[in-house]
Structure 1
Amino acid sequence: MARLAVLGAGSWGTTFAQVLADAGNDVVLWARREDVAREISEHRTNRAYLGERELPAAVTGTARIEEAVEGAEGLVVAVPAQALRATLGQWRRRPGLREGLPAVPVLSLTKGIERGTDARISEVLVEAGGVSAQRVGVLSGPNLSAEIAERRPCGSVVAAADEELAGVFARWCDAPYLRAYTSTDVTGVEIAGAVKNVVAIAVGAASGLGHGHNTTASLITRGLAEITRLGVALGGRRETFAGLAGMGDLVATCASPLSRNHRLGLALGRGLDIEQAVAEVGQTAEGVATARAVADLAERLEVDMPITRSVVAVVDHGASIEHVTTALLARSVRPE
């Protein structure tokens, strides 16, 4: 169907390269490290992230960004949120990319809010990557990469400002096991995908503390209310948060042991400090850095987000993990 470049060879980027190939596309997967790129091309594996699982023959690897994007009809970005701006800057110092990424559609898989600027990932792509806002799309939903790598059925949402472009992105990932729904609510889909990671830390922490389903269900439900309040304040559509990008992604991330943010919360609840918890998870848990950015946004917009504030108190300021459940219970009587 198309020649696509996936930029980022972590677990989600590598898994999504498989999805794109299974949908009939030729895929070049950019890896930061030369040895990883060589392994992908020569052995069709990325053992650091996917073990011995074999990638489709249509996936090749490269560590040269110019080679990855040359001739690509579309780009898929899977670089961690807090590293994206710096990575884009490194790419733009290369002779062939000084004007920014090629003028093709760009789909972001990255879920997070940039710390320090409070920018959404699509905004970082525009500001630092030289990408037109009209060419950017975002994907979110219940996307646990380990299950998708096993080709287990799931749904996702792809959003772009233009409905036709959202359809293009959906066709890219039309694999037999992934159903992509389209949306034009870029802001809502991005906020849902970013903030659910913060709530997942809170839910994991509650489980680690030994609390039961009543507590976790309450945190998930009130967490969704926080996500919705912030998303609507930023211009997102309320109905987005009741769908796959909102409730769907939130439930998967909060409930599954495959979720890095959930596992990090569990570790905190068991008594580890933030450095120990991050080391135990061993991979990027975007909710840690995103929490402060979300709290800053909420404060600026005067949006009440007590669960988020409590996560920030724990991961940024060393507060007791009991803050997470206190945030749920220690509030004045009010209508739901």
Structure 2
Amino acid sequence: MSARVAVLGAGSWGTTFGKILADGGSDVVMWARRPELAREITEARRNSRYLPGINLPRSMRATPDLAAALDGADQVFVSVPSSSARDTLKSARKALSGSEVPVVSLMKGVEKRSGLRMSEVIREALACDPARIAVASGPNLALEIAREQPTAAVVSSVNGDTAAAIARTASTRYFRTFVNSDVAGTEFGGVLKNLIAVAIGIVDGVGYGENTKASIITRGLVEMTDFAVAYGAQPETMQGLAGLGDLIATCQSPLSRNNTAGRLLGQGYSLPDVVSHMEQTAEGLSSVAPILELAKARGVDMPIVEQVRMVLDGTMDPRDIAPHLTTDDDTPQEETQYGTGDRGGPLRRALERARDLFRDGGRGSRGD
């Protein structure tokens, strides 16, 4: 029997993921906040505002009634802005009361007030067993996937059965889903790459070239890894789909909301003008401040993100952004070190681990 799944949020990514689930054989009900959008999805099989030109499967329908969307669901996927996640989940709590269905975060942000990851917000708002919670992430630009261009993602949960069940539901001929148990790493990869993508957009808007962007992407991966490991993630996760894979896609594509927001900043638009120009939320803009607070709490240096904050605050001219050149002094640094006091940091440990695996013929434990 096909699964009955609910997707909360009918923006570009929520609708695209609903299409993935429907193409994978599920009966999909979307929750759309606006009745006219729900009607268009159900009757016209379109979401013309967020996915122009895409025909949606017949096994997808939508409703503005949250309780109706959740009624009878075997799995629930949440794709709303991080700023409204808690309120949406609180509204869904009654409908999910007593249920044991998995709840999957498709969101790539942190809660601004608390700094919590979205899986942690789900756990608090629904009083939910962590074994029921999963997160999905990867190089997932919505419009490309809606056009059925092949890609992959990773589903992460502390419960292997939950991750496997979601991966089976969210797999099609054009969308391959892997699994891991590193929830923190998978989520932080999706959050942190947005911040680096804003930096790339800024230098793109200014008119700097590929050398500048390649330097920032490479050093950005070091910042991402240092931060994520400081909060319990595995360094290998940052080298995978949720880290490096998502970073490359988000930084290089004009379809990326965060890259677009950064490019507008680099062209001289103010932050309020950028926010009003964007049709959908660029999570990187709202994640900068809470991520820097979390980094400060663990003593992690993030010069790229710090300079993005300065551009957002108007205290740095976008043309002056050069975070990959920033150091505390003129002492030469090792390439994989960013002043964490860890003799090379998490990225070096990952490379040393790979070296050891080669030396012992691959007999060591595998983290993939």
Query: Structure 2 length as normaliser, TM-score?
Result: 0.87
1:335 aligns with 2:330: no
Find the counterpart in structure 2 of residue 30 from structure 1. 31
Q: Distance in 1 between matches of 2:98 and 2:198?
A: 34
Find the counterpart in structure 2 of residue 45 from structure 1. 46
Pick the aligned partner of 1:244 from 231, 241, 246.
Answer: 241
Find the counterpart in structure 1 of residue 345 from structure 2. none
- Cα distance per residue 1:104-151 (max 9 Å; x no partner): 101110001111201000000011123221111001110000100000
Find the counterpart in structure 2 of residue 283 from structure 1. 280
Check 1:139–1:128 CA distance in 2 against 1; reply closer, same or farther (3 A cut): same
1:258 aligns with 2:236: no
Distance apart, 1:278 and its partner CA: 2.3
Check 1:100–1:301 CA distance in 2 against 1; reply closer, same or farther (3 A cut): farther
- Cα distance per residue 1:56-109 (max 9 Å; x no partner): 0000111111111111000000011111112223444xxx43x75842101110
Find the counterpart in structure 1 of residue 184 from structure 2. 187
1:67 aligns with 2:68: yes
Answer with 275-284 or 15-24: which moved more: 275-284
Pick the aligned partner of 1:170 from 167, 170, 185.
Answer: 167
Answer with 311-320 or 194-203: which moved more: 311-320
Q: Distance in 2 between matches of 1:185 and 1:330?
A: 31
Find the counterpart in structure 1 of residue 125 from structure 2. 128
In structure 2, the gaps of 5 or more residues are: 336-368
- 1:101–1:130 Cα contact (<8 Å) kept: no
Answer with 27-36 or 315-324: which moved more: 315-324
Q: Distance in 1 between matches of 2:113 and 2:300?
A: 19
Q: Distance in 2 between matches of 1:136 and 1:317?
A: 39
Check 1:264–1:159 CA distance in 2 against 1; reply closer, same or farther (3 A cut): same
- Cα distance per residue 1:35-59 (max 9 Å; x no partner): 1111111111111111242210000
In structure 1, the gaps of 5 or more residues are: none
Structure 1 SS opposite 2:107: coil
Find the counterpart in structure 2 of residue 117 from structure 1. 114
Please report the RMSD computed on the Cα atoms of aligned residues, expressed in angstroms.
Answer: 1.4
1:106 aligns with 2:100: no
- 1:101–1:129 Cα contact (<8 Å) kept: no
Distance apart, 1:323 and its partner CA: 4.8
Q: Distance in 2 between matches of 1:11 and 1:230?
A: 29
- 2:303–2:326 Cα contact (<8 Å) kept: no
Count of aligned pairs: 331
Structure 1 SS opposite 2:108: coil
Find the counterpart in structure 1 of residue 365 from structure 2. none
Query: Structure 1 length as normaliser, TM-score?
Result: 0.95
Q: Distance in 2 between matches of 1:301 and 1:75?
A: 33
Q: Distance in 1 between matches of 2:208 and 2:43?
A: 47
Find the counterpart in structure 1 of residue 154 from structure 2. 157
Q: Distance in 2 between matches of 1:150 and 1:36?
A: 20
Find the counterpart in structure 2 of residue 200 from structure 1. 197
Find the counterpart in structure 1 of residue 219 from structure 2. 222
Find the counterpart in structure 2 of residue 89 from structure 1. 90
